[in-house]
Every structure is written in C-alpha cells, then in structure tokens.
Structure 1
Amino acid sequence: MNKSSLLHAPARPTTLLRLNPVEWALLLVAVIWGGSYSAAKIATEQLPVLQFLVLRFGLTFLLLAPALRSITSVPAWKRSLAGALLLGVVLLAIFICETVGVSMTTASNAAFLISLCVVFTPWCEWLLLGQRPGRSALIACALSFVGAALLAFQEGVTLSHLSWGDALMVLAALLRGVMVCLTRRQGLRFGLPALTLTAVQMGVMTAGSLVLMMALPGQRWLPLPATASFWWAMAFLVLLCTIVAFFVQNHAAARTSASRVALLMGSEPLWGALIAVVWMQEHLSLQGWMGGLMIVGATGWVLRPRNHST
C-alpha cells in the first residue's frame, strides 16, 4: 500500500471520466487494498494473529522465491541484502500492529486510520532525513488529528475506553512513514530488483512471525480452519493484495501522472470503509464518516500536485 513509489510520472490534466487501462488497474488496486482490512479481520477471527502471519507471508514467500535466484548478480548485493533484511523487520512490526489492530477494531476504522501514514511521512523525513516539513504537512496533521479523534470517540466512547485496535493502527501508520524514510536513506530501490526485495522481506516476516510464535507463552500451531471464508480471505490477501497489486503498482509507476495516482490511490480508505459496511455489515456513524473523510482530505492535501516553490 505504498503510494510514495508512484508519485514520479509527468503530469497531465486530471479527470475521473477518462481513465486509461493503467488507471483503471490502479483504481482496482485501491479497491483491493481497501478490502484487505475486511479479509484480514475474517481470517484473524478464525486463527491467532501470529499463525495467520506465518501462513500469509509464508505462502507469499513461496510464490516469490524464484526471484531470489538472481540476487548475487546485483552489484554490492550483500549491502543491499542487509538493508532488505532491516526493512523486513520493520515491515514485520507494521503488519503485527496492523493485524492485531484490525482484530481489535472495525475494518472501516482500520482502513481510514492506516492512511495517516501519508501525513506522518513528512514528519518522519524531518526526524530521520533532516527535511523540514512545509505548511502543507502542518495543515494535514491538524486535519487528520481531528479526523482520528472523531473516529476514536464514536458512539460515546470516553478517553478511558479508547480502542487499543485504533491505537495500533495509528502506530502502524507511523511505522509505515518510518519505513519510507529508511528505504530512501538506504537507496534499496536502486540496489535489489523490486521483486527480489519483496521476496526477501516476505522471508524475513515469515521467519520473524514464526520465531515470535515459538517464543511467546501460550502460542501453539492450531489446526488450520476448514471454512471457505478463511481460505478465500487468505487467497485474496496473498494473491491479490500482495502479488497482483505489486505488479500493477510497478507497471503504473511510469505510465500515469502523480495527480491521477494521488486521486485514485487516495480512494483506498473509502473503499475499505464501504467494503466493511457492505461485506462485514459494520456500522459507521455520521461522526465516523466525517472523521474518515477528514483523514482522506488530509491525505489528498499532502499528495496534491504542487510546484517547486511550495
């Protein structure tokens, strides 16, 4: 769900009514990623979080493992591999927060709150890369803070009864911002091929989830669910949310404008909320919709096209 890699194409006028095939594919990816929160919630209702992560990442790693055959042909591959391993650890932390978080909150809240990563990234750049955020980041931060508060305090929830799931989704969004900065600082995208990098990260997350599962008390490998809903959710997450979306994202990177990418991919949390309401029968109050739309607005503000003087 990384939007930053898509924002480097020449601009052209934006109109929703004239989407080319690549842009329709991007919109489909936004819908798919929006559905990932509901799919993860369905799966984690039937299997403990760590075992679910071992299974999800392990299956993905097996499918991507052939990409590792050419790893030694990359110049300075050992340095790039070390960086990829570090990013795999950060990704593991992100997915643990996300998966535990979505199991403790609604899929609609999760979809909206994770989009805070776009707002957090400029602040992570300031702390980690020394790039001071501009006025846009300040405005977006204030808007998204109010939106997150509206989501968290729905239905008369008080400060003492805030959802840990919402807090974990916000932490996952912050860690995503950190990961963007680590990726830029280490220049990993120009070291290992993107498919190889993804395979390494999937391997790290599989091993890390398995180690945590073995180390933490009370964790054991349970019989896998035999329900169709679990395996449909797992197939959706492994095949569509990871592999198909990955290829579409990379194919689209140089084939459409930044403004259109921002508009299309910025719709992901809205699709996530709509899918949760329709598919999961979740209820989102008017206050919740207002909060979610404020976060989407803040994300769009950060991602909007701007000239070099701003």
Structure 2
Amino acid sequence: MPRSMTGFARREAKLPWGTVIWEIRSVNHRYLEPGFRLPEDFREIEPALRESIRKTLQRGKVEVSLYIQQEQENETELGVNLQRVIQLSKAAQQIHDQLGDKAALINPLELLKWPGVIQKQEVDREAQQAAVIDLFQSALISLVEHRTREGAELEQLIVQRLDAVSAQVVAVRARLPEILQAQREKLQQKIAALGVELDSERLEQEVVLLAQKADVAEELDRLDTHVIEVKRSLKQTDSLGRRLDFLMQELNREANTLSSKAIVSDTTQAAVELKVLIEQMREQIQNIE
C-alpha cells in the first residue's frame, strides 16, 4: 500500500523532571532528508533518532523538533543534608555553650545557606534520554500512520484515473474497425473525385498502408499493460514512488504515440483525455514515498 510523504505527528509527555514535546513534519522530497531541532542537552541522541528514521521511512524531507519544559525546583528536586545540619547544630551548640547568652540563636534559614546543606537531586541522564527516545518512537509511529492514511486516499484517486484510462482505451479499440472503414470510404471518394481508375489490388495496397499508419492496437495493448502494472505496484511499498513515476512516463509515451497516429478527431480527443488523466496521476504520485 502506498504511503504519502506528507504527514505530521505530535507527542507530549509529562515526566518527573519536565514536559517533553515531539513534533515531526514531513513533506515531498526526492530522497530521505531528516533535519533536527534539539536542545543542546539532547544533541547526543541525534544519531539514534536518525537511525530510527532511516529504518522507518524511505523518502521525504522530515523536520523533527524537540521541546523540553524543565520543572521548577521543588521539594522533590531539592534535598536537605540532615547529617550536615546535625554537624552544624552541634558546632553551634558548642559555641553557645562557650559564649552563653551572648551567642545569638541560629536561624534555620541561615543553616540552609551553608555549603553542602541543600543538595539538588541529580537526574539520571540515561533514563532521561531513554524516556525522550521512547516518546520519539511513539511520534514516529504516529507519523507513519498519518502518511499511510493519506497514501490510501492517494491510491483511491489513482485507481479512479486508471479506470478512466482503461475506459478510453476500450472506447478507441471499439471504434478501430469503424475508423478504418471510414478511411477506406474516404479514400475511394477522393479517387472517384479525381477521376482516376485504380485496380482493386492497388486500392487494397493503399488501404493496407493507411491501416498500418492508423493501427494503434499495439499502443492500446501497452496502455492496458501499464495500467495493470500500476495497480499491481500499488500493492507494494519498496521504492513505490519511483516505480510509479517511471510507469507514468511510459503511459505518457503511449498516449503521445496514439495522438501522433490519430486520423480522426475522436482518437485525438481520446489521446488528450489520456494525457490529462496521466498528468493528474503523476501529480499525485509525486507525493508517494
């Protein structure tokens, strides 16, 4: 099934140390081209992110943004070194015992200012990065789902136009005997108008030459073959966009040949309709991975 190269995904998670937000956007591109906007503290995870994208996507310009909202310091992040407080209290008590009433009472807030009393809890960097990468994987899965849904819609549009191509081919093929007979009669009328007598063998030769020139059965057969191949390719995923683009070139080649061989306006009109349908498909295919 085809996947579109256009997609968007956003994932947000509130963790003990802050809020993590991933946003991934992807648009058309000939190759796979990921780009990252990461906070400096998370630059080291970029290789892992690139590898995940490389294994998951084939084509598209992918813009990845990471937003980190750190939690303000609170009771869960700050700790009091009670052992240090006890040591300071004993020291203060000793001073008080020596100086007596002359010693001022210790203000607990002053104790908190003493080096080593307040301890900021360290965040486990490996666990932090692992949580951020896990959330990225979830966002990447969401992006693929978005691209898959849009790809399914593109497939329907392409199949509709393929059916229209087949309808044009059927119409032209059905009219071929009528077209050739009309040309035979037209040739006979011209000969009669010129007053030239041709033996039946010579006339038949001229008709055969005309039929060969106007014969588009081969082109119609190839158009049918290409339509079948496009529908078959739509069930695949590997390098699908490039494969379909090539098939559009082949369809357009046959439509051009059909136009050049046209000897009546109906065939010319059919060739024009085919070109329009093929161009519409080509535009849609430009967005397929």
Superposition TM-score, scaled by structure 2 size:
0.25
Per chain length, whose mean CA-contact separation is higher, i.e. which structure has more relative contact order (CA < 8 Å, sep 6+)?
Answer: 1
Larger helix proportion of the pair: 1
Superposition TM-score, scaled by structure 1 size:
0.24
Larger strand proportion of the pair: 2
Q: Which has the larger radius of gyration?
A: 2
